[in-house]
Amino acid sequence: MRLLIAAPPNLLNPSHVRTAIEQSGLEPSELLLNGKSRGSTRTWVREWAKDNEISVREFDDTSEAFALLEQEEEGAVVAVVSPDHPETLNLVSKAEGKGLPVYIFRELYRQDPRVNCRFSPVERPDVWLKALTTEQRDFFRRLHALCKEYKVELKTAATGDGGSLLHFADGTQFEAVDLDRKRCRVRPRGSFRYRKIPLE
């Protein structure tokens, strides 16, 4: 299985990458690393991969990495995200937009007092972000049609603490819904972006 590793280039604790891979439940046979990154994270990952007999392939830009993942039936992204490194968040958003499975590891967010302080607790989970299933899309289309029929607008805000969620039988959770007469958008729990549901 091919994994793209996304993380800040100089993690103080690079073993977060190992923890993220272990928590994702994946068993990679090849890791994709940004060849332009020269920080401590890249060095640590290469050593860890060597110790675990996992091959490493470097890429020059994300489009090349995404193309390699799309060649694999089980390609995925494992991301260690940080408030101090928006580039990783941007890569996650692009991967999610392409429908690639992304595992997000948020330990750095939970440790950062600027994000999680006693005045504004935010408990973002470590989650898998995957493409919506046919059944989920059908559910939201039907919900939109019902709201349109009865002239109802439905907007729920993401709280981040898991207080208001739509739970599907497969374990997928949605933390925000935005339905009006012209559009239908939903936000999976832990995601950074809304996903548009095609209505036709």
pLDDT digits (tens, 9 = 90+) for 117-136: 544 445 567 889 998 999 99
pLDDT at 117: 52
pLDDT digits (tens, 9 = 90+) for 39-50: 999 999 999 999
Mean confidence (pLDDT) of the chain: 88
DSSP single-letter state for residue 15: H
- Which class is 2-128 in CATH? alpha beta
Share of the chain above pLDDT 70, in %: 91
- Which of the listed ranges 139-148, 171-180, 185-194 does the model predict with the highest average pLDDT? 139-148
In the chain, DSSP assigns E strands to 2-6, 30-34, 55-59, 76-80, 102-105, 127-129, 154-155, 166-167, 173-179, 184-188, 195-196
Asked whether the predicted pLDDT for residue 196 surpasses 70, the reply is yes
Query: Angle 105-92-166 (CA atoms, 0-180°, nearest 5)?
Result: 70
DSSP single-letter state for residue 138: H
CATH 3.40.50 spans which residues of the chain?
2-128
Q: Residue 57 — φ and ψ, nearest 5°?
A: -125, 135
Q: If you average pLDDT over residues 32-59, what whole number do you get? A: 94
Residue 76, classified by CB atoms within 10 Å of its CB into exposed (0-12), middle (13-18) or buried (19+), is buried
Q: What does each C-alpha distance from 162 to 122, 124, 167, 176 come to in angstroms?
A: 9, 8, 11, 11
pLDDT at 170: 86
pLDDT at 27: 94
Share of the chain above pLDDT 90, in %: 62
